[in-house]
Amino acid sequence: MTEDSQRNFRSVYYEKVGFRGVEEKKSLEILLKDDCLDIEKLCTFSQRFPLPSMYRALVWKVLLGILPPHHESHAQVMKYRKEQYSDVLHALKVIRFVSEATTQVEVYLRMYQLESGKLPRSPSFPLPKAFEQYLNLEDSRLLTHLKTCSAVSKLPYDLWFKRCFAGCLPESSLQRVWDKVVSGSCKILVFVAVEILLTFKIKVMALNSAEKITKFLENIPQDSSDAIVSKAIDLWHKHCGTPVHSA
């Protein structure tokens, strides 16, 4: 049995006996011990497994380019990043894009847009088409109902795809989704939206107007969030495959 086969066997065994994540955590700790972190392997790990909470902030910062791969530079770079944050926030206040009343989510969005040269944000956003495509594959009758109610164009796409479900899902569930987004797979957002519709299909099918459907989807019950995310990840793997470490 090869080393990869042994690792896969152990992972399946741990999951079956109730210790899911034990082997994955050890693998991540090995990756994080390298003097120069391997970005590609960290991306692949984040897409295949949920990140342990104790390492999530570090991995996100490295994958987003906030911190460099080299450990010895982290302290100095973080000092520069804090100064950069203050400068960008000050600039946004000066040009009146944010104020003391602006929500933190909106502030972060505006900071990203300013840094990436996309301020103000472009109204075009391609994920709704993908959402419609995959919902049709999973449940065409549900999509037909949305179209009959003229709800497809009025779904909470900003909440789902521009705020990445911030304010929709509780933090514990949101982190698992953002693990995938941070590591480069924004398409996971589409499958979370699809799974929300599938999970609450009976409720949505009972509503007969776009306004009622949208209002419900903007305030979904929180007790199903973990299951929704787990099923969404399964859907993502089903349609897009499972990421594999490159040699």
pLDDT in tens, 67-124: 999 999 999 999 999 999 999 999 998 878 888 888 888 898 889 888 887 776 444 4
One-character DSSP codes across 147-165: HHTT-GGGS-HIIIIISTT
pLDDT band, very low/low/confident/very high, at 225 (cuts 50, 70, 90): very high
Cα separation, 223 vs 210, whole angstroms: 24
The pTM (predicted TM-score) of the whole model is 0.74
What domains can you pick out in the chain, each with its CATH number?
15-64 (1.10.10.750), 76-116 (no CATH), 127-240 (1.10.472.80)
- Taking the CB of residue 117, how many other CB atoms lie within 10 A of it? 6
Q: For the chain, what percent of residues have pLDDT higher than 90?
A: 67
Residue 130 is predicted with a pLDDT of: 94
Average pLDDT over residues 173-190: 92
Whole-angstrom distance, CA of residue 94 vs CA of residue 87: 11
Per-residue burial over 62-93, b if 16 or more Cβ lie within 10 Å, else e, is: bbeeebbeebeebeeeeeeeeeeeeebeeebe
Q: In angstroms, rounded to a whole number, what is the distance separating the alpha carbons of residues 13 and 20?
A: 9
Give the separation between CA 65 and CA 76, rounded to whole angstroms. Answer: 14
Kindly report which listed range (7-16, 57-66, 96-105, 124-133) carries the lowest average pLDDT score: 7-16
* DSSP-assigned letter for residue 208: -
